[in-house]
Amino acid sequence: MPNESELLGHIYRRSSDIGAFPHVTLGPGDDAALLDDLPPRTLITVDQLVEGRHYTTALPIDLVARKAVARSVSDIAAMGGLPLAGLATGCLNDRFAAADELFDRMSHWGRHWNAPLIGGDIASSDGPTCLTVTVLGRLPDGAPPFRRSGARPGDRVVVTGALGGSMLSGRHATFEPRLAEAGWLRANFAPTAMMDISDGLGRDAARLAAASGVHLAIRADCIPCHPEVDKWKQAASEGEDYELLFTLSPTDAAALPSACPETGTAFTVIGEVDSGSGCVIHDSDGGHDASGLGWEHGADDA
Residues 6 or more apart whose CB falls under 8 angstroms from that of 55 comprise 49, 63, 64, 67, 172, 173
Helix (H, G, I), strand (E, B) or coil at 245: strand
Q: Which residue has the higher pLDDT, 300 or 15?
A: 15
Same domain membership, residue 81 and residue 128: yes
Answer with the one of 110, 138, 166 that is the final residue of a domain: 138
pLDDT in tens, 35-89: 787 878 899 999 999 999 999 999 999 999 999 999 999 999 999 999 999 999 9
Nearest C-alpha neighbor of 174 from the set 244, 234, 262, 109: 109
133-147, 155-169, 282-296: which is most confident:
155-169
Q: Say if 298 falls within a structural domain.
A: no
Q: What is the CA radius of gyration of the chain?
A: 20
Q: Say if 89 falls within a structural domain.
A: yes
Number of domains in the chain: 2
Residues 6 or more apart whose CB falls under 8 angstroms from that of 285 comprise none
What is the domain range of residue 182? Answer: 156-292
What integer best gives the mean pLDDT of the chain?
92
Q: Which residue has the higher pLDDT, 26 or 168?
A: 168
Q: Say what angle helices 4-14 and 99-112 make with each other, to 10 degrees.
A: 30
pTM for the model stands at: 0.90
Same domain membership, residue 160 and residue 106: no
Measured distance CA(106)–CA(89) in Å, rounded: 11
Cα distances from 261 to residues 154, 183, 188, 278, 297, in angstroms, run 26, 12, 11, 33, 36
Answer with the one of 138, 173, 190 that is the final residue of a domain: 138
